[in-house]
Amino acid sequence: GEFDAVSGHFQKKEEADKVASDCKERMCQVEKEDIQTKTVRAPKLYDLTSLQRDANRIFGYTAQQTLDAVQEMYEKKLVTYPRTDARVLSTAVAKEISRNLKGLTRYQMAAPFAQEILEAGSFQGIEKTRYVNDKQITDHYAIIPTGQGLQNLGRLPQISQKVYQVVVRRFLSVFYPAAVYQKVSLVSAVGKEKL
């Protein structure tokens, strides 16, 4: 197949152009390959700061805009208490998490995923994962969707609806298996040039 190959830095553009031209006209020989299997679990749930960072990175919202949006959602019972520094759930909340998931089956974007999680039972045992830790909670646990108040969502400003979707996606992600992928590094030679 095709892949991009990178070489060292060149002092002159002509040198780089010559190597590029040589590479197009010749076959390359793979001299070394390194294949590593990587596993990445879903990130922890949102606290206020991490939600503000993601809303800024994804949508360009300021910290205050995100706080206002999530506070409004909290007042409409869509999410849990927003002013938290915890990124995990309490054991007590984890035992009742199916209620949140059942409520999300009425939210169009999340419905098929919440239903799949419920049917597979992948929410069971969540209290034994890195997403639940009573010792890491000071006053309030992570920001998660309650599964309630969905009748109010359509009446909220667009910013709140977008932030809600981000919270829901992060919440649902903790119930799925870790992503497993391969990282492949190749050292190839074309003539004397190593790529």
Q: Which helix H or strand E contains 193, and what residues bound it? A: strand 193-194
Q: Which helix H or strand E contains 31, and what residues bound it? A: strand 29-40
Question: Which residue carries 């419920």 as its tokens?
Answer: 118
**Both tokens of residue 181?**
């992928």
SS3 182: strand
Helices of type H across the chain: 13-25, 48-59, 63-75, 91-95, 97-104, 111-120, 150-153, 158-173
Active-site residue flag, 81? yes
Active-site choice (61, 74, 81, 141) = 81
Provide the annotated active-site residues: 81
